[in-house]
Structure 1
Amino acid sequence: MGLDDNEVALARQGRMVALVIAGSMLFWILAQWLGPKLGLPGRFTFLIDFAVLAALVWSMVVTYQIWRKRQDTKG
C-alpha cells in the first residue's frame, strides 16, 4: 500500500511540474506579445525572462527528483 501512495505522490508532483512548465511558457508568450503594446521598458522583459527561466530550472530539478525516486522504487 505504501508503494501506491508513493506513486500517487509522484504523479501529483509530475502534474505540478507540467502545469508550471505550461503556465510559465504561456505567461512568457503573453508577456512578449503584450509588453511592446503597453510600452514596457526592456528591463521588464529581462525580469520576465529571468522569472520564466527560474521556473523552468525549478521544473528540471523536480523532474530529476521524480526520476530518481522512480529509479529507487524499481530496484
Structure 2
Amino acid sequence: MAERSREDVSQLRLAALVMAATALIWLALNWAGQRYDWPPQYAFLADLAAIGGFVWSLLVTWRIWRRGARPGKEG
C-alpha cells in the first residue's frame, strides 16, 4: 500500500470522525424526535444535515483516493 502524507492521514481521520459523529447525532435526533413527539419537519432537517455530513466525508475520501491513484506517482 502506498504511503500517505501526514495531511492525507489527518484528513482521513477527520472524515472518519465526521462520519461517526454524523451517524450518532442523526440517531440521537431521530430517537429524541420520536420520544418527544417533534414535528416531522425536524426529522427532515436532521436527515438533510446527515446527508450533508456523509456527502462531505465521501468527497474528502474520494479526493484523497484520487490523489493517491495519479499516474506517475511512485508507490
Partner of residue 56, structure 2 = 58
In structure 2, distance between residues paired with 1:65 and 1:74: 18
Q: How do 1:39-50 and structure 2 match up within 5 A?
A: 39-50=37-48
**Aligned partner (choices 24, 35, 38) of residue 36 of structure 2:** 38
In structure 1, distance between residues paired with 2:9 and 2:64: 9
> How many residues align structurally?
71
In structure 2, distance between residues paired with 1:51 and 1:74: 38
Deviations 1:8-58 (Å, cap 9, x if unpaired)?
000000000000000000001111111122221000000000000011011
Structure 1 stretches of 4+ with a deviation exceeding 3 A read none
Gaps of 5+ in 1: none
The range that moved more, 63-72 or 39-48, is 63-72
1:74 is displaced (CA, Å) by 3.7
Structure with higher helix content? 1
